[in-house]
Structure 1
Amino acid sequence: MIQIKNLTKTYTTKHGAVTGVDNVSLEVGKGEIFGIVGYSGAGKSSLIRCINLLERPSSGSIIVDEKDLTQLNGDQLRKARLKIGMIFQHFYLISQKTVYDNIAFALRAAGTPSKEIKMRVEELLEMVGLADKRDVYPAQLSGGQKQRVGIARALANNPAVLLCDEATSALDPNTTLSILRLLKEINRKLNITIVLITHEMNVVKEICDRMAIMQGGRVIEEGQVYDIFADPQKELTKEFISSVVSFNVPVHILKEFKGTLVKVLFKGGVAGEGVISDMLQSFSVKGNFLHGAIEYIQERPLGIFIMELKGAEIEVMEALRYLENRSAIVEVISSGH
């Protein structure tokens, strides 16, 4: 659906050339929700704005629905952009226009016949849960309601792709969750491809299928959200994940324990099985749980536990091998032997 090939975006500043996006290649499948994560300055905003050519790449190509947008002329590009909706962090609603007219504006701009506009706007208002706000002005809306108007406006021309530029960053946690659920519902109902950028891993954890981590204009890690949460490869990725799923035991607590300290990770269905209790019954070791939980990512369980094991060294090692054979990923944090 979306192919980004060797994309580079360089900006000219008074201090010289600055590279915002550095030779990035990504693919996003039809109907997928793809998250791009990074801190401020990582290049994620530049990248998403290149996808619909709000910013023109310095080199590389952007292929959306088999059309290379970088090769289109003015009229061709305008038509292609109608199939790419975009929602923003700060909403950008027209304050002098009602909710109805803010949404209708996108349809009028696309040349939609007047008789079709009313029906389409009312359909969109129903879809985003704002049918009762039809004649209200933006100043009378909450932040979440404003973003719902922004979503309706972005969907007005039946786009195949929806780009979300920090769409929930200005919202409180409860409102963020409601907007993310709305986006997921729209994705499932319309099979629309969604690309969102964020610095919040909770957003990615909640709705994304796959993700990429950006740093210094480059993609440093990419994959299924579940796999990245289960086994992050880069230190920055681990840092992001720890903001959502933290299983670090304070150092002063660790010093109190003399046994073997291990982190045990279970993926998928095995996370809900009694593997640890089976292990404790099968070997002459004692276990002391320090931390643990089962997270659900993409509706799949991911179990992470930190525990102390006490017993003869050979028994502890056999117990750890047993866990590994039961599909656990085992990391020895410190050994008391």
Structure 2
Amino acid sequence: MIEIQNVTKEYDTKNGTVVGVDNVSLTIREGEIFGIVGYSGAGKSSLLRCINLLERPTKGTIKVDGVDLTKLKGESLRRARLKIGMIFQHFYLISQKTVFENVAFALKAAKVPKDQIKPRVEELLEMVGLSDKKDVYPAQLSGGQKQRVAIARALANNPTVLLCDEATSALDPKTTKSILKLLKKINKELNITIVLITHEMDVVKEICDRMAVMEKGRIIEEGRVYDIFASPKEQLTKEFISSVISYDIPEAILLECTGTIVKVTFKGKVAGEGVISDTLKVHQVDGNFLHGSIEYIQDEPLGIFIMELKGEKQEIEKALRYIENRAAQVEVINYGI
């Protein structure tokens, strides 16, 4: 478990003090994949680096597995950091060393006995699917293969936490999917807590259990990924989600509509059921679908539909109540003329 309590990180610049992280408190549960989302400058990288004290917080405490890292220094901090692996956007492999040597470097730095290094490196390379690349150099690898080497290196000392700093931002979509699949496998098989920062909502949607949205150094929204996708509260969160799931209706289409425009969100199993069709049968209203689809977030369906309802106002209100009572969230976008 990671417990971040009232953490602030300030930077002194020639133009004065800049606040990178502003009084953030956050609990990340053991064994979960937690996403931190925000635009550049939101403070997410600063917060991530505070977790392993690459950046020492100006104020507040960071506890990992019950140990307050902010109270540690020197050798005791170095030992604690061995349990926190980290991977970066640009891999940071040593170009003059082979794949095997890059992974072995982490073990040598931790003073692992020489006779234990070779079998451990071979085990790690097999885990990330690079056993056949152990004798090649980074320049001979693709971006995805380089990131797999970086992941193997980060796992070398059996960490309980893996920090991912924009780990897929430099990769193409297909390679990104393969890396996310690998991270999910590592999380499940090794029960490693993964903290992943990104500006890509596709990444969060693919593998994260819970998430937080950061803006100007603060967390403005936090919760289960599914719940945030279903009911985002902050405007910034809505902007991020719209990059993955967009339901904007052209203004020209809306101007042609004379009925009541509603957005209907179905959660869970009910998303695949015929609630809308049942509604139109039961009530004296006509429906016209304008947009909609069923998304799957962590294999759980989320149905979002935008439709026009026509009929008497009283009948439309009854229809909306009927839909709401069937595990749906209804938002009226525009009342009929």
Query: Could you list the per-position Cα deviations for residues 96-137 of structure 1 after superposition, in whole angstroms to 9, with x for gaps in the alignment?
Result: 000000000000000011111110000000100111101010
CA RMSD of superposed structures (Å): 0.7
Q: Show the counterpart of 1:289.
A: 289
Q: Hey, what's the Cα distance between the residues in 2 that align with 1:57 and 1:310?
A: 57
Q: Show the counterpart of 2:178.
A: 178
Comparing 75-84 with 253-262, greater Cα deviation is found at 253-262
| Amino acid in the other structure paired with 2:174 | N
| Amino acid in the other structure paired with 2:256 | E
Q: Show the counterpart of 1:197.
A: 197
Q: Hey, what's the Cα distance between the residues in 1 that align with 2:336 and 2:111?
A: 73
Q: What fraction of aligned residue pairs are identical, expressed as a percent?
A: 74
Instruction: Tell me the number of residue pairs that the alignment of Structure 1 and Structure 2 aligns.
Output: 337
Structure 2 counterparts to residues 184-223 of structure 1, below 5 A: 184-223=184-223
Q: Show the counterpart of 1:270.
A: 270
Query: Could you list the per-position Cα deviations for residues 17-62 of structure 1 after superposition, in whole angstroms to 9, with x for gaps in the alignment?
Result: 0000000000001101000000000000000001000111101000
Q: Show the counterpart of 2:129.
A: 129
Q: Hey, what's the Cα distance between the residues in 2 that align with 1:325 and 1:83?
A: 48
| Amino acid in the other structure paired with 1:206 | E
Q: Hey, what's the Cα distance between the residues in 1 that align with 2:314 and 2:238?
A: 32
Secondary structure of residue in 2 paired with 1:221: strand
Deviation at 1:284, TM superposition (A): 1.4
Structure 2 counterparts to residues 246-261 of structure 1, below 5 A: 246-261=246-261
Query: Could you list the per-position Cα deviations for residues 127-186 of structure 1 after superposition, in whole angstroms to 9, with x for gaps in the alignment?
Result: 001111010100000000000000000000000000000000000111111100100000
Q: Show the counterpart of 2:148.
A: 148
Pairing 1:11–2:22 present: no
Q: Hey, what's the Cα distance between the residues in 1 that align with 2:8 and 2:312?
A: 57
Q: Show the counterpart of 1:93.
A: 93
Deviation at 1:252, TM superposition (A): 1.4
Deviation at 1:286, TM superposition (A): 1.2
Q: Show the counterpart of 1:234.
A: 234
TM-score with structure 2 setting the length: 0.99
Deviation at 1:73, TM superposition (A): 2.2
Query: Could you list the per-position Cα deviations for residues 216-272 of structure 1 after superposition, in whole angstroms to 9, with x for gaps in the alignment?
Result: 000000000011000011000000000001111111111111111111000111111
Q: Hey, what's the Cα distance between the residues in 1 that align with 2:156 and 2:202?
A: 28
Q: Show the counterpart of 1:31.
A: 31
Q: Hey, what's the Cα distance between the residues in 1 that align with 2:154 and 2:309?
A: 55
Q: Show the counterpart of 2:102.
A: 102
Secondary structure of residue in 2 paired with 1:292: strand
| Amino acid in the other structure paired with 2:40 | S
Structure 2 counterparts to residues 69-80 of structure 1, below 5 A: 69-80=69-80
Q: Hey, what's the Cα distance between the residues in 1 that align with 2:206 and 2:287?
A: 33
Deviation at 1:314, TM superposition (A): 1.5
Q: Show the counterpart of 1:59.
A: 59
Q: Hey, what's the Cα distance between the residues in 1 that align with 2:44 and 2:32?
A: 18
| Amino acid in the other structure paired with 2:147 | Q
Q: Show the counterpart of 1:318.
A: 318
Q: Hey, what's the Cα distance between the residues in 1 that align with 2:218 and 2:316?
A: 42
Secondary structure of residue in 1 paired with 2:256: coil
Q: Could you list the runs of 5+ residues in structure 2 that have no partner in the other structure?
A: none
Q: Show the counterpart of 2:117.
A: 117
Query: Could you list the per-position Cα deviations for residues 306-331 of structure 1 after superposition, in whole angstroms to 9, with x for gaps in the alignment?
Result: 01111122211111111011121111
Secondary structure of residue in 2 paired with 1:255: helix
Q: Hey, what's the Cα distance between the residues in 2 that align with 1:51 and 1:336?
A: 52
| Amino acid in the other structure paired with 2:124 | L
Q: Hey, what's the Cα distance between the residues in 1 that align with 2:265 and 2:35?
A: 24
Q: Hey, what's the Cα distance between the residues in 2 that align with 1:20 and 1:73?
A: 23
| Amino acid in the other structure paired with 1:70 | T
Q: Could you list the runs of 5+ residues in structure 1 that have no partner in the other structure?
A: none
Q: Hey, what's the Cα distance between the residues in 2 that align with 1:221 and 1:330?
A: 21
